Structure 1
């Protein structure tokens, strides 16, 4: 197993000043041909955080998003991109992905 270290941002350089804010670059989401990760306003750390998945996933585009509202609640991108069952489908075993729906992630087949 290979382990890649991701340095977190400097909390004195990020946009949020909320005392409970969680700024983690490790909380990212793989979405078919894209890696979705965070940026927090620390330009040096944000650039390094984009470089890591670019190197680790060379066949995927890397998109960084402002997730300040998620971080204020202690969460991140991966936290809010979990699969959600379709209403009434739990007994049938069918699920869909609750995020990244812009044509990149197909719904699970029945």
Structure 2
């Protein structure tokens, strides 16, 4: 995994907010009717609304998170749904902890 892409992805408060929102999809997006937000992911349109940004702006942020591996995106009918990739997030946090650890 390209760590510089991951660092860039997390350098934005908006992208950090996306990851926080997607951490609890059932709580934050429980009214999503097109698919179960926990099982299938959250519709990009709802993420844009939650962020109070345009859909193109949200799409750009989501694409950067996808490139970094922090989220997966899948299409269903005419919508795209996003989910956090918890394994990639854990791996990144472990790597970051090792990089920042004080050698003793």
Query: TM-score, with normalisation over the residues of structure 1?
Result: 0.27
Larger Rg computed on CA atoms: 1
